[in-house]
């Protein structure tokens, strides 16, 4: 009994409540005539769409840099990759892989600069990361208008310059992962096999990385910097590596998101993209200084289930649209809980 | 110690201000706006925004950084205004009534914010920011679902057609610019909202007085060193909560002043940018995360808003697109906040390392005390 109590406290009441809430949503769905199979299709789609962005947060949490509210730094690198790939006229797999390839150098460079900055401001990473993210998004909003993009599918029709706020990926690489080996069961259920496989592949890769020598050293820096230093690990270098890794995965993450969503969203769209990802990771059981692959998978699944199911289920029960309020309360409530929790590994 | 002028130190201390000055000095002539227009705009905007920026001072004094949770106060002010409009109380009385309604809400929210921030020592700023997001959800729950349902709203003009919830835009005709026009003075071509300035002046006096009280001194002590303050018998947690409560109440009044000048209220969005503008203004005015003065507020409001006035036109003149100017002013303001935070964190770390080095040397010298 005591052990159960301990397990419950470790896991945290908010998570248990959220978990029960999700279960209740799925059980309640058929009673209010919401189709469970099409709901599951949505949940899987949105899971794959967002999982990589959540995964991008893990390296920095593990290295002790806190929750990466500066995820937009990576997202911007991804946006550069996909817009350049479109500009060069790459389509299909060449387009998607080309976009990843083109975004990598930017992600590494941005991550490097961002990591150097975060190394100088230890202890204040999260607030600064947030404002670095805001700055880079608004700064790039200027560049989207000024850079000499010319593909007629991307620029404003009448001016002939300046990127549109949303750019459709139809005819390029929209849904390319989702449709790869997609399984159709019955009328309404469709499993985005390719995207889920891609997510699993990345998760396994990152998982293996954390078993490697570098990965272990990174975790050591995060959980006990003095101990790591005594073991001959340079904390600054490990933190820098983690930030670069986080930024690179973030860039890939937005590309996966785009191909599933079908559009590239630029200008102010990435401003607040870090917050739902952070909430998902925390719902999955991560804390400010500890996160695992399991946290990513469970958290994204739970959070996306809530986002998918509340509009349909809660709205049919209450007859009003409360999903937005529920989303705000759950995601930010979870982040607040994690930030105010006295963690066992206190710094 | 000689007090020679060190240009590098001056630049490091005032980097954000200098960058803003340079950019604005360049953008003002480019924009082609008349001096008269710009100055009138500035007079209006000082009245509109200064009070909100002042609400950030006390938490900084108490060492809690920038209180991004001030938006809680803004929400309380908005609820007060909704009730005042619903009851049809006109003019300055309406504003006073709105503050009276907002007061208990702001005190309560401030207390919650203080309690939450006490549990997140060392990361108050990011926690306050997220708390603002969270309370935005609660605000929507109350204003969009409970008003007209649980909380009685009499006027159908401000409720949504479905019978409950407040409309997206609330016209504040009954109180529009009532404080500004109470004592509007014409000097040459300019109109000064003197009554608003007097309220702001009163607040300045309050802050100067408050710094000298026992409570104010306690706050400054806590801002210097929590451990020492605790040993000196100051109740650290309680004092921090009071700092946040006062900040929240001031933000409530500030938001009411802001909105009476605007004359309209975007019910669900009016508070979203409040924290950003207040923080940016204060930091652009030369304040740091650990030290802010009354002149910082005024310099900051003038500089930030000067840039916000001229930048769209400057962008239109330079690139043929006002949007570029708009993005640029946002980018620069966000960067200003980021830069101020970086400089602060940088210094804090340098000081900590120096203290640690001093401690090592001190230990050797003291020969085993402690």
Summarised one tens digit per residue, pLDDT across range A260-269 is: 999 999 888 9
Report the alpha-carbon distance of residue B247 to residue A119 in Å, rounded.
Answer: 32
Q: What is the pLDDT of residue B53?
A: 95
Query: Which pLDDT score is estimated for B360?
Result: 65
Cβ of B138 within 8 Å of Cβ of A329? The answer is yes
The rounded distance, in Å, linking the Cα atoms of B38 and B46 is 12
Q: Please state, in angstroms and as integers, the Cα–Cα distance from residue A125 to each residue in A110, A150, A288, following that order.
A: 16, 38, 12
The pLDDT, as a whole number, for residue B38 is 93
How high is the mean pLDDT of chain B?
A: 88
Cβ <8 Å between A121 and B346: yes
To 10 degrees, what angle do helices A125-146 and B322-366 make?
150
State yes or no: pLDDT of A36 exceeds 50.
yes
Q: Is the pLDDT of residue B242 over 70?
A: yes
Residue with tokens 């750019």: A167
Percent of chain A with pLDDT over 70: 98
Closest C-alpha among A54, A63, A56 to residue A118 = A63
CB-neighbour burial class of residue B319 (10 A; exposed 0-12, middle 13-18, buried 19+): middle
Question: Do residues A340 and B119 touch, judged by C-beta distance below 8 A?
Answer: yes
- Chain A positions touching chain B (beta carbons under 8 Å): 69, 117, 120-124, 126-128, 130-132, 134-135, 138-139, 141-142, 145-146, 162, 267, 275, 320, 322, 324-325, 328-329, 332-333, 335-336, 339-342, 347
pLDDT at B117 over 80: yes
**Pick the residue with more confidence: B4 or B210?**
B210
SS3 labels along chain B? CCCCCCHHHHHHHCHHHHHHHHHHHHHHHHHCCCHHHHHHHHHHHHHHHHHHHHCCHHHHHCCCCCCHHHHHHHHHHHHHHHHHHHCCCCHHHHHHHHHHHHHHHHHHHHHHHHHHHHCCCCCHHHHHHHHHHHHHHHHHHHHHHHECCCECCCCCCCECCCCCCECCEEECCCCCCHHHHHCEEEECCEEEEHHHHHHHHHHHHHHHHHHHCHHHHHHHHHHHCHHHHHHCCCCHHHHHHHHHHHHHHHHHHHHHHHHHHHCEEECCCCCCCHHHHHHHHHHHCCCCCCCCCHHHHHHHHHHHHHHHHHHHHHHHHHHCCHHHHHHHHHHHHHHHHHHHHHHHHHHHHHHHHHHHHHHHHHHHHHCCCC
SS3 of residue A179 by DSSP: helix
Tokens of A181: 């080996």
Q: Which residue has better confidence, A92 or A317? A: A92
Chain A residues in contact with B133 (beta carbon < 8 A): 275, 328, 332
- Mean pLDDT, residues A328-334: 90
Cβ pair B116:A130 closer than 8 A: no
The β-bridge relationship of strands B190-193 and B184-187 is: antiparallel
pLDDT tens digits along B80-99: 999 999 998 998 999 999 99
pLDDT of A124-169, one tens digit each?
A: 889 999 999 999 999 999 999 888 888 888 888 777 788 888 999 8
Q: Can you tell me the distance from the alpha carbon of B136 to that of B255, in angstroms, rounded to the nearest whole number?
A: 15
Selected residue of B136, B283, B289, B327 to mutate for chain A interface (largest A Cβ count, 10 A): B327
Say if residues A227 and A68 touch (Cβ distance below 8 Å).
no
The pLDDT of residue B3: 59
Yes or no, beta carbons of A336 and B127 under 8 Å apart: yes
Q: How far apart are CA B164 and CA B157, in angstroms?
A: 11
Look up residue B229 and give its two tokens.
Answer: 């303050």
ipTM of the assembly? 0.88
Q: Tokens 């809430």 label which residue? A: A21
In this prediction, residues B276-288 reach a mean pLDDT of 90
The Cα B162–Cα A294 span in angstroms is: 44
**CA dist., res. B79 & res. B87, Å (int):** 12
Higher pLDDT, B312 or B78: B78
- Cβ of B338 and A322 within 8 Å? no
Shortest Cα distance, chain B CAs vs residue A291, angstroms: 19
**Position A188 pLDDT exceeds 90:** no
- At B364 the pLDDT is 44
Q: Residue A265: enclosing H or E segment and its boundaries?
A: strand A263-265
Residues with Cβ < 8 Å from B141, sequence gap 6 or more? A325, A329
pLDDT of residue A248 exceeding 90: yes
Classify A164 as helix, strand or coil: coil
pLDDT at B290: 86
Grade residue B366 by pLDDT with cuts at 50, 70 and 90.
very low
pLDDT at site A1: 66
CB contact under 8 A, B349 and A162: no
pLDDT of residue A204 exceeding 60, the answer is: yes
Considering only alpha carbons, which residue of chain A is nearest residue B342? A121
Q: What is the predicted pLDDT for the residue at A278?
A: 94
Q: List C-alpha distances in Å: A46 to A32, A76, A88, A284, A306.
A: 22, 21, 29, 16, 11
The residue among B279, B273, B274, B271 whose CA lies nearest residue B337 is: B279
In chain A, the residue whose alpha carbon lies closest to the alpha carbon of B114 is A340
Lowest mean pLDDT among A156-160, A299-303, B32-36, B276-280: A156-160
**Could you count the other beta carbons within 10 Å of the beta carbon of residue B77?**
34
Q: What is the mean pLDDT of residues B330-349?
A: 87
**3-class state of residue A156 by DSSP:** coil
Say if CB B300 and CB B286 are below 8 A apart. yes
Residues A263 and A86: their CA atoms lie apart, in Å, by 12
The confidence band for B154, taking pLDDT boundaries of 50, 70 and 90, is confident
pLDDT of res. B1 = 45
Q: Helices B274-284 & B15-31, crossing angle to 10 degrees?
A: 100
- Please report the pLDDT score of residue A212 as a whole number: 93
Tokens of B112: 């919650």
pLDDT of B138 reads 95
CA distance B334 to A129: 11
Secondary structure (3-state) at A189: strand
Helical (H) or strand (E) element with A264: strand A263-265
Read off the pLDDT of each residue in B321-327 and give the average, rounded to a whole number.
85
Fold held by B7-359: ABC transporter involved in vitamin B12 uptake, BtuC (1.10.3470)
Average pLDDT, chain A: 89
Each residue's pLDDT tens digit, B173-217: 888 888 888 888 888 888 899 999 999 999 999 999 999 999 999
pLDDT tens, residue by residue, A43-52: 999 999 999 9
Q: Are A340 and B120 within 8 A, CB to CB?
A: yes
pLDDT class of A60 with cuts at 50, 70, 90: very high
Provide mean pLDDT across the span B25-43.
Answer: 90
> At residue B370, does pLDDT exceed 70?
no
By Cβ distance, the residue of A126, A320, A329 closest to B134 is A329
- Give the per-residue pLDDT at A245: 95
Q: Do A131 and B334 make contact, defined as CB atoms within 8 angstroms?
A: yes
In whole angstroms, what is the distance from residue A118 CA to residue B110 CA? 31
Asked if residue A250 lies in contact with residue A73, where contact means CB atoms within 8 angstroms, the answer is yes
Q: How confident is the model at residue A309 (pLDDT cuts 50, 70, 90)?
A: confident
Chain A residue nearest residue B279, CA to CA: A131
Question: Is the CB of A121 less than 8 angstroms away from the CB of B349?
Answer: yes
Q: How confident is the model at residue B367 (pLDDT cuts 50, 70, 90)?
A: very low
pLDDT band (50, 70, 90) for residue B9: confident
């Amino acid at each position: 009994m005591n052990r159960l109590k301990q397990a419950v406290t470790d896991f945290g009441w908010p998570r248990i409540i959220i978990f029960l809430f999700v279960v209740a949503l799925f059980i309640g769905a058929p009673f209010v005539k919401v189709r469970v199979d099409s709901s599951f299709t949505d949940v899987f789609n949105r899971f794959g769409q967002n999982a990589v962005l959540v995964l991008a947060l893990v390296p920095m949490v593990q290295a002790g840099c806190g929750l990466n509210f500066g995820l937009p730094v990576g997202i911007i690198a991804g946006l550069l990759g996909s817009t350049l790939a479109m500009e060069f006229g790459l389509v299909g797999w060449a387009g998607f892989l080309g976009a990843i390839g083109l975004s990598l150098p930017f992600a590494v460079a941005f991550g490097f600069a961002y990591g150097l900055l975060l190394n100088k401001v230890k202890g204040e990473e999260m607030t600064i990361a947030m404002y670095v993210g805001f700055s880079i998004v608004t700064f790039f909003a200027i560049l989207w208008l000024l850079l000499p993009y010319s593909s007629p599918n991307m620029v404003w029709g009448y001016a002939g310059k300046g990127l549109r706020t949303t750019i459709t990926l139809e005819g390029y690489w929209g849904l390319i992962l989702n449709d790869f080996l997609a399984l159709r069961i019955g009328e309404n259920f469709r499993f985005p096999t390719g995207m889920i496989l891609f997510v699993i592949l990345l998760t396994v890769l990152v998982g293996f990385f954390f078993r490697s020598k570098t990965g272990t050293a990174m975790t050591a820096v995060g959980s006990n910097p003095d101990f790591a230093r005594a073991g001959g690990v340079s904390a600054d270098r490990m933190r820098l590596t983690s930030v670069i890794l986080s930024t690179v995965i973030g860039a890939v993450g937005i590309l996966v998101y785009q191909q599933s969503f079908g559009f590239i969203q630029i200008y102010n769209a990435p401003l607040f993209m870090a917050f739902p990802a952070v909430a998902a990771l925390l719902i999955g059981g991560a804390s400010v200084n500890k996160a695992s692959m399991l946290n990513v998978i469970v958290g994204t699944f739970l959070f996306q289930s809530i986002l998918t199911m509340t509009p349909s289920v809660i709205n049919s029960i209450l007859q009003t649209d409360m999903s937005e309020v529920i989303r705000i309360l759950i995601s930010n409530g979870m982040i607040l809980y994690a930030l105010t929790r006295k963690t066992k590994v206190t710094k | 110690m000689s007090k020679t002028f060190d240009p590098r130190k001056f630049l490091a201390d005032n980097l954000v201000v200098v960058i803003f000055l340079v950019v604005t000095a360049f953008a003002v002539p480019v924009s082609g706006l008349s001096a008269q227009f710009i100055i009138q705009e500035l007079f209006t905007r000082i009245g509109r925004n200064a009070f909100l920026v002042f609400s950030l001072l006390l938490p900084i004094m108490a060492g809690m950084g920038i209180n991004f949770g001030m938006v809680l106060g803004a929400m309380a002010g908005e609820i007060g205004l909704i009730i005042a409009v619903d009851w049809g109380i006109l003019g300055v009385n309406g504003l006073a009534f709105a503050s009276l309604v907002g007061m208990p809400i702001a005190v309560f929210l401030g207390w919650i914010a203080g309690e939450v921030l006490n549990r997140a020592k060392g990361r108050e700023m990011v926690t306050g920011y997220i708390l603002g997001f969270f309370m935005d959800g609660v605000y929507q729950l109350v204003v969009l679902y409970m008003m007209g349902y649980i909380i009685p709203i009499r006027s159908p003009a401000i409720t949504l057609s479905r019978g409950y919830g407040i409309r997206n835009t609330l016209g504040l005709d009954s109180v529009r610019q009532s404080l500004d026009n109470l004592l509007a003075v014409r000097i040459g071509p300019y109109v000064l909202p003197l009554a608003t300035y007097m309220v702001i002046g009163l607040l300045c006096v309050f802050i100067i007085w408050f710094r000298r009280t026992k409570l104010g001194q306690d706050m400054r002590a806590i801002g210097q060193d929590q451990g020492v303050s605790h040993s000196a018998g100051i109740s650290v947690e309680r004092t921090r909560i009071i700092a946040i409560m006062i900040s929240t109440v001031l933000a409530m009044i500030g938001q009411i002043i802001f909105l009476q000048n605007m004359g309209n209220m975007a019910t669900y969005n009016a508070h979203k940018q409040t924290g950003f503008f207040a923080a940016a203004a204060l930091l652009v005015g030369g304040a740091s995360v650990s030290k802010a003065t009354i002149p910082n507020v005024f310099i900051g409001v003038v500089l930030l808003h000067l840039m916000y006035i001229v930048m769209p036109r400057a962008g239109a003149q330079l690139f043929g697109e006002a949007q570029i100017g708009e993005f640029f002013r946002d980018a620069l303001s966000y960067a200003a906040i980021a830069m101020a935070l970086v400089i602060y964190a940088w210094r804090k770390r340098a000081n900590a390392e120096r203290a640690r080095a001093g401690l090592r040397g001190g230990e050797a010298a003291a020969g085993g005390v402690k």
